[in-house]
Amino acid sequence: MLLSQLSNGAHAVVQRVLPSSADVGAATLRRLGELGFIAGEPVQVLRRGPGGREPLAVQVGETLFALRLLEAQCIEVQAMDVCVN
């Protein structure tokens, strides 16, 4: 699944970064990797912008980022089940 498909509060692990459309260039993919969106890294979608679209507030490690929907669609993730006690 893609990071953009996760619901608010959902946790996941990055599987890979891939171009989602012709509008996404190598520079964008490289930037996402430099920000920490690399395989095995845990991520959480915190919230979405107005109307539930963009930007997406995403936490990677200890850092928060605001991603455009187009960028979030480039990040393939594996959703995690998180138990809260």
HEC assignment per residue over the chain: CEHHHCCCCCEEEEEEECCCCCCCCHHHHHHHHHHCCCCCCEEEEEEECHHHCCCEEEEECCEEEEECHHHHCCEEEEEECCCCC
**pLDDT exceeds 60 at position 66:** yes
CA 22 distance to own-chain centroid: 19
User: What pLDDT score was predicted for residue 79?
Assistant: 95
Q: Catalogue all structural domains in the chain, each as residue range(s) with its CATH number.
A: 3-80 (2.30.30.90)
CA distance 72 to 3: 5
User: What pLDDT score was predicted for residue 83?
Assistant: 60
**pLDDT exceeds 70 at position 46:** yes
User: What pLDDT score was predicted for residue 20?
Assistant: 84
- Percentage of the chain surpassing pLDDT 70? 95
What is the torsional sign of CA 24, 75, 56, 7? positive
